[in-house]
Amino acid sequence: MRIITRAAFLAISLLITTSPSNAQWYEAQGHASTDKDSIEIARTKAMENALKKALLVAGASVSSIQQVVNGLLTQDKISIRASGSVNSIELIDEFHSGNMISVTIRADIFAQEKKCFALDYKKSILLTKSHFNQRQQANIGKIYPLDSAVINQLNRKLAKQSRYSNGKLLLKSSTEFSRLNRSFNDKKIRQLAISLADTTDSQYIIFSEINDVSFEQQRTNSWQVWQQSTYPRNFDFTLYLYNGLSGEQIWQNSYQNTAVWDFNKRAEVDVNSTAFWQSDYGNMINSLLDAMVSDIDENIMCEPSEGKIVQINGNQITINLGRHQGVKIGDEFSLLHSTSFTSAQGRNYAGYNISPYKVKVTKVTKQSATAITLDNNLLGNIQINDLAVRY
């Protein structure tokens, strides 16, 4: 009979606030035989096996395994804080059955910069309508539609320049993001991101705010009294990138610059026109958008390529990643359960429970892929809305 000899006995002191912003908790099982090794050595091997699974799925560097598992166990404690891929690790359960030992670990892992297994897939990003934080500043030139025009232009640039993402647009209506952001309502923002991702079949969500489009007080040609005065106009913009599955913020950044407003102050300017985007002010915004595309790629390139399971039939699943994201026949995925847990300090953390099942893609369409288990076994407790992740 299988006996639990230890359950959640460990409480590690974690410096959570110093962990990288893109760290994520993963739970995995590992196994080892006690035929030739002592229980202590077998336990360490089982934990190494579990940690390797978690690192692979998380897209972290596997080379760090030997560094973090060496001397992993000291009697009944795990003491580990590494500066590499693994911030911290907990032993959750230990099982003994005959000559086998099985352990369950929970590891806080982040993918090391530019060392990841997700580079061959493009991520689906939903770009939402921007928000004027000071809408009255748009009155000169009547540039109120800039909240949609700048996002539309960003989407065009993503399509042409991005190596790691595909954009989708949601411009017909505004979201509640800015109101929630002003009130620091992180919980509601997470719910909003998850809801939008689910509705639009997107992996990531971009929110944005236009902070400043005011004019500088000093005109640029004040000495040329016979000419119409031209004034520099500011553009201050903030981007927020959210994971649509967990609702967690991945990254944010602000972009600012100033350029001459070479339109009559009394004229109504069409911000969707070629004349606007070829003006000094439009060119300045375009330069900032180029920087945004580069930064989005930099911050999303090593994020896991996660697909949601939308259909299950025996040993076969369908996921919402397809040819449009770069999926090919023969690609293999690991399966994850979304989960959460509460720390000893009462804080709630999102994470993943790694399933023992792996699947291989047998059919691909533009927006979806069909995959079957490698050993043709039934998928057990895998459910719709669980995740398939490329490793």
* Residue 362 confidence (pLDDT): 95
> One digit per residue, pLDDT tens: the chain, 391 residues?
333 333 333 322 232 233 344 567 888 888 888 888 888 888 888 888 888 777 767 665 444 444 444 444 333 333 333 334 677 788 888 989 888 999 988 888 765 544 455 556 788 999 999 999 999 999 999 999 999 999 999 999 999 999 888 899 999 989 999 999 999 999 999 999 999 998 998 989 999 999 999 998 755 554 444 345 578 999 999 999 999 988 989 999 999 999 999 898 889 999 999 999 999 999 999 999 999 999 998 888 877 778 889 999 989 999 999 988 889 999 999 898 877 777 777 777 767 788 888 899 999 998 899 999 988 878 877 888 888 987 6
Q: Which of 244, 287, 248 is nearest to 128 (CA)?
A: 244
Give the integer Cα–Cα distance in Å for 80 and 384: 35
Assess contact for 367 and 338: CB atoms under 8 A.
Answer: no
* CA distances in angstroms from 85 to 26, 27, 44, 145, 301, listed in the order given: 12, 15, 19, 44, 16
> Do 64 and 139 belong to one domain?
no
Asked if residue 115 is part of any domain, the answer here is no
Asked if residue 23 is part of any domain, the answer here is yes
* Residue 330 confidence (pLDDT): 92
Cβ neighbours around 39 below 10 Å, total = 13
* Residue 224 confidence (pLDDT): 45
Burial label, 222 (beta-carbon count in 10 A; 0-12, 13-18, 19+) = exposed
For residue 228, give every residue at least 6 positions away whose Cβ sits within 8 Å of its Cβ, in sequence order, or none.
264
Q: Which two tokens stand for residue 71?
A: 């001397």
Number of domains in the chain: 3
**Coil, strand or helix: which one is 253?**
strand
Q: Which two tokens stand for residue 123?
A: 């991520």
Query: Which domain does 175 fall in, by range?
Result: 123-300
Q: Which two tokens stand for residue 23?
A: 């760290």
Q: Which two tokens stand for residue 79?
A: 């003491």
pTM for the predicted model, two decimal places: 0.66
Assess contact for 162 and 237: CB atoms under 8 A.
Answer: no
Among 74, 109, 144, identify where a domain stops: 109
* Residue 9 confidence (pLDDT): 31
Among 278, 300, 322, identify where a domain stops: 300
Assess contact for 181 and 189: CB atoms under 8 A.
Answer: yes
Q: Which two tokens stand for residue 18?
A: 């110093």
For residue 71, give every residue at least 6 positions away whose Cβ sits within 8 Å of its Cβ, in sequence order, or none.
none
> Do 178 and 271 belong to one domain?
yes
Helix (H) or strand (E) holding 295: helix 280-300
* Residue 3 confidence (pLDDT): 34
Give the integer Cα–Cα distance in Å for 305 and 297: 13
* Residue 179 confidence (pLDDT): 96
Q: Provide the CA 95 distance to its chain's centre, in angstroms.
A: 34
> Do 152 and 295 belong to one domain?
yes
> Do 204 and 296 belong to one domain?
yes
Among 109, 138, 167, identify where a domain stops: 109
Read off the CATH number of the domain in which 348 is found.
2.40.10.410
Cβ neighbours around 378 below 10 Å, total = 11
Q: Token pair 């005065």 is at which residue?
A: 229
Give the integer Cα–Cα distance in Å for 317 and 325: 17
Asked if residue 11 is part of any domain, the answer here is yes
* Residue 7 confidence (pLDDT): 31
> Do 266 and 383 belong to one domain?
no
> Do 101 and 217 belong to one domain?
no
Buried b (16+ CB within 10 A) or exposed e, 351-363: bbbbbebebebee
Q: Which two tokens stand for residue 208?
A: 């944005």
> Do 316 and 223 belong to one domain?
no
Q: Token pair 């560094």 is at which residue?
A: 67
> Do 148 and 222 belong to one domain?
yes
Give the integer Cα–Cα distance in Å for 70 and 82: 11
> Do 324 and 293 belong to one domain?
no
